[in-house]
Amino acid sequence: MKKLLTGNEAIARGAWEAGVVVCTAYPGTPSTEITENAAKYDEMYAEWSPNEKVALEVGLGAAIAGGRALVSMKHVGVNVAADPLFTLSYTGVNGGLVLVSADDPGMHSSQNEQDNRHFGRAAKIPVLEPANSQEAKVFTKLAFDISEMFDTPVMLRTTTRVAHSQSLVELADRKEKGIKEYQKNPSKYVMIPANARHRHVVVEDRLIKLKDYAESTDLNRVEWNDTKIGVITSGVTYQYVKEVLPEVSILKLGMTFPLPQKMIMDFANKVDQLYIVEELEPFIEEYVRSWGLDVHGKDTFPLIGELLPETIAAKIMQTLGDCSPRETTEPDQLQYEIPPRPPVLCPGCPHRGLFYVLNKLKVTVAGDIGCYTLGCLAPLKAIDTTICMGASIGTAMGMEKARGKDFARNLVAVIGDSTFIHSGITALVDVVYNKATTTTIILDNRITAMTGHQHNPTTGFTVKGEPTKEIDLVLLAKAVGVERVRAVDPFKLDELEKIIKEELAAEEPSVIITQRICALIDKSKNNPYRISTEACTGCLRCLKLGCPCIAKEGKEVRINLAQCVGCGLCATVCPSEAIKKEGGAND
């Protein structure tokens, strides 16, 4: 039976068919749906881990114990998981372990567009790259076989287009693999230097065997056509090349580390001009050039962002001196022009009140990764830095250590509840231990909102929706040594401002927890608000909230009643009381 699946759904299906027993992840676009779908299969244990390092550690524990394990994360998550990953390459596995790295060319939802094939090369583990949903499922299953065949973790590298695009997938039954026998083996699994030196030799021997495998596996194949142009490609760019250049010969690489050198050399010798079409880094190209082959790569195609089919066709034609336009199918024209939709905090977002106050107080704000990063945009413009998950607290502390305590009197770190659990706790420990006075604001909206409302250790539910222990952030902050911990509703602006001023003035670490549920999961019904044109003085203070419901039309400011969720924050900031709730008095 065939079914239309996204790449992420197909990976989850492939894991189930492969007999996987443990699936772990920290949510991150474009990988999140893998674990959400894996959790639907009763035969597999699934979890949202506190961060990617823990996810991989749980996965490797399951694999060493003899079960097959799937660990999923977005590309920057591999940075977090790199420590156990590199040593796992030395220890090897028992049951198969597949690490999904979902890269994000074009940075649709990421802070960088690193190419994680480099991680595969650095860790000396095989890297597979599917080009569509069917391959995503098949490659997942094969990755587990390779993992157990060569005693190694395997990276399945996808990109956003493969992860989120749909194509038909042939379904199969689950094959139970059972749990392999576990035997205590310190020389393999205890990486003290004496054992690690021995295991490094094993890794190098394994890499030689993987190179031989790359030459013979069906993952890599040649599709012969006209030999005037030969293209080496992988992943979603294979689909683009097939679409716009159907007449060329193609070497499709499903395994991009290690590369099949003999196969590539043979292909190159049989075509007149050789092109390498790959998104982001010249990963394949650098190898091919090192073998002395003449090739067009990043001298022709852009290094930055996603490749488009039209770009691939145009660039190759330019190198051939053919600048005539190629026939393409024009997309259906829309009847109306679609207005631009820049990212913005949602109507009723609980973070809006906090950033309004921080902007008003003109404090320096070390920000973090989450929906709330949008607080950097106009008109709120409240955030000074955003680096990576969990960096806000350490960044603020570093600023304080460099510029002194007086600077800290006007400095805060802001971090979401899920991000604080991910990697903010240790930085808060550093603040306490090394005598900083940082004021940390934890934005507790009761969910991991940025990636689509996944549960986390503060919500009281697992990925399967089962009730579990709920981490108390107030008690947690006190437990690491912060004595000044205060909770506040971020829509109570006067109280919030008063607390922030008090904690900034305190010469000791403090934590403020803003507590209000995400507006998208708050099901309470509130009447929208309306602006009285007679009472409005035109001060435009309500526009400083950056609420997408409020707009200036001519000389008047209006609220879009269809969008307004009735949070009332605009009425709170209105000095002339011109904003009233529809059908009743303001709360």
Q: Which residues are annotated as a binding site?
A: 536, 539, 542, 547, 564, 567, 570, 574
* 335 beta partners: none
Query: What is d(CA 146, CA 141) in angstroms, rounded to the nearest whole number?
Result: 9
Q: State residue 398 phi and psi, 5-degree precision.
A: -65, -40
Query: What is d(CA 105, CA 103) in angstroms, rounded to the nearest whole number?
Result: 6
CA atoms within 13 A of residue 512's CA, in its CB half-sphere: 24
* 250 beta partners: 223, 231
Instruction: Tell me the torsion sign for CA atoms 142, 144, 149, 152.
Output: positive
Residue 343 · residue 374 · CB < 8 Å: yes
Sequence ranges of the binding site for [4Fe-4S] cluster: 536, 539, 542, 547, 564, 567, 570, 574
> Given its phi and psi angles, is residue 56 left (phi above 0), alpha (psi -120 to 50 degrees) or beta?
alpha
Query: What is d(CA 218, CA 263) in angstroms, rounded to the nearest whole number?
Result: 12
CA atoms within 13 A of residue 48's CA, in its CB half-sphere: 29
Query: What is d(CA 576, CA 572) in angstroms, rounded to the nearest whole number?
Result: 10
Find the helix or strand (DSSP H, E) in which 161 lies.
helix 160-164
Residue 29 · residue 45 · CB < 8 Å: no
Which SS3 state, helix, strand or coil, does residue 402 take? helix
550-553 and 556-559: which strand pairing? antiparallel
* 48 beta partners: 25
* Residue with tokens 């287009």, as numbered in its chain: 161
Q: Report CA-CA distances (Å) from 354 to 174, 351, 442, 451, 586.
A: 49, 5, 11, 21, 21
How many whole angstroms from its chain centre is CA 485? 30
Closest CA to 434 of 462, 406, 396: 396
Closest CA to 527 of 472, 586, 479: 586
DSSP secondary structure string for all residues of 21-69: -EEEE---TTTHHHHHHHTT-TTSEEEE-SSHHHHHHHHHHHHHTT--E
Query: What is d(CA 585, CA 326) in angstroms, rounded to the nearest whole number?
Result: 64
